[in-house]
């Protein structure tokens, strides 16, 4: 079963309240603070391209890479709605961030909204970091966020139900997590119910998303192994040190 296959149909609706504009502003500030003058960005695991669509407004040139075909298709739909000067600075391709080689160098690489936690084995993680390094100019930056181990183990994931709707569809998503203690993994078994509001037709499907929670010492080790300097490890959208209550953490690394 593919992740972000059928689920791509309702991804933007499920996360319509996520503050992508605010996150893009936060990233812009972070980029210009640590990598002044950065203008070219590679967004690994770009999903439906929502960060990219906001970042082009800050004059960045962005290329997004995404594994899921349906997610790339949605990113392309969003791209078509941008003004031509912005659309001209944004491109997408479908590919696996562990192996893709685009043949170009960027000022900074991003991997946002837990993309790195979708890389499960040590080899997958290392491959993702090598891809980032291979696409960076010397001195370039890599910014990525991930599930933070100390918080995941303190406040373990439980069963959750999310309901959202728009004028066309009503979505219910039930999440049942199962923890794999010895691999630092969580299997989130999602059951989706999509009801068409006009026809009343109900579609249901399942996806299991497997995510890895990470600890600072292993991020330190992997970054060092792959030729990065780990500049910063902080609670997402803040300058606070992460702790037992910080599920989402970001790192800033320099090539």
Ligand X SMILES: C[S@@+](CC[C@H](N)C(=O)[O-])C[C@H]1O[C@@H](n2cnc3c(N)ncnc32)[C@H](O)[C@@H]1O
Which residues lie near ligand X (CB under 6 A)?
Answer: 4, 45-47, 50-51, 65-68, 71, 96-98, 112-115, 118
CB neighbour list of residue 251: distance below 8 Å, 6 or more residues apart: 142, 143, 144, 145, 146, 219, 223, 230, 231, 232, 233
Between residues 174 and 195, which has the closer beta carbon with respect to ligand X? 174
Closer of 35 and 146 to ligand X (Cβ): 146
Minimum distance, C-beta of residue 240 to ligand X, in the bound complex (Å): 21
Residue 160 CB, shortest distance to ligand X, in Å, is 15
* Nearest-approach distance from CB 138 to ligand X, in angstroms: 25
d(CA 106, CA 87): 18
Least Å distance, CB 232 to ligand X, is 20
Least Å from the CB of residue 95 to ligand X: 7
Comparing CB distances to ligand X, the nearer of 175 and 195 is: 175
User: 97: which DSSP letter?
Assistant: T
Alpha helices in the chain (DSSP H): 11-14, 20-34, 50-55, 69-80, 84-87, 122-134, 149-154, 216-225
Closest-CA residue to 216 (of 147, 115, 124) = 147
> Nearer to ligand X by C-beta: 67 or 109?
67
Spell out the residues 6+ positions from residue 129 whose beta carbon is closer than 8 angstroms to its own: 142, 222, 223, 225, 226, 228
Minimum CB–partner distance for residue 118 and ligand X (Å): 4
Q: How far apart are CA 166 and CA 181, in angstroms?
A: 38
* CB closer to ligand X out of 55 and 136: 55
Closest CB 8 distance from ligand X, rounded Å? 8
Nearest residue to ligand X, by Cβ distance, number only: 47
The residues pairing with 236 across neighbouring beta strands, listed in sequence order, are none
Nearer to ligand X, 19 or 241 (CB): 19
The set of residues, in sequence order, having a beta carbon less than 8 Å from that of 172 and lying 6+ positions away, is: 161, 162, 163, 192, 193
Q: Is the dihedral of CA 232, 234, 239, 240 positive or negative?
A: negative
């Amino acid at each position: 079963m593919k992740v972000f296959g059928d689920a791509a149909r309702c991804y933007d609706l499920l996360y319509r309240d996520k503050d992508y504009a605010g996150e893009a502003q936060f990233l812009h500030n972070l980029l210009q603070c640590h990598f002044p003058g950065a203008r070219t960005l590679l967004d690994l695991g770009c999903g439906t391209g929502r960060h990219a669509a906001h970042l082009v407004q800050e004059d960045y040139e962005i290329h997004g890479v995404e594994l899921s075909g349906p997610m790339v298709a949605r990113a392309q739909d969003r791209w078509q709605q941008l003004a031509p000067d912005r659309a001209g600075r944004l491109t997408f391709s479908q590919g696996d961030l562990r192996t893709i080689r685009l043949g170009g160098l960027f000022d900074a690489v991003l991997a946002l909204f837990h993309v790195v936690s979708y890389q499960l084995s040590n080899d997958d993680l290392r491959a993702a970091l090598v891809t980032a390094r291979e696409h960076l100019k010397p001195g370039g930056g890599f910014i990525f966020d991930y599930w933070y181990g100390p918080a995941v183990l303190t406040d373990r994931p439980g069963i959750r139900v999310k309901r959202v709707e728009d004028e066309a569809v009503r979505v219910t998503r039930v999440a049942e997590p199962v923890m794999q203690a010895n691999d630092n993994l969580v299997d989130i078994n999602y059951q989706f119910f999509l009801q068409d509001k006009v026809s009343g037709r109900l579609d249901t499907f399942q996806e299991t998303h497997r995510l890895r929670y990470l600890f600072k010492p292993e991020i330190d080790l992997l970054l060092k192994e792959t030729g990065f300097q780990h500049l910063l490890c902080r609670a997402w959208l803040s300058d606070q040190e992460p702790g037992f209550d910080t599920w989402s953490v970001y790192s800033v690394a320099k090539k």
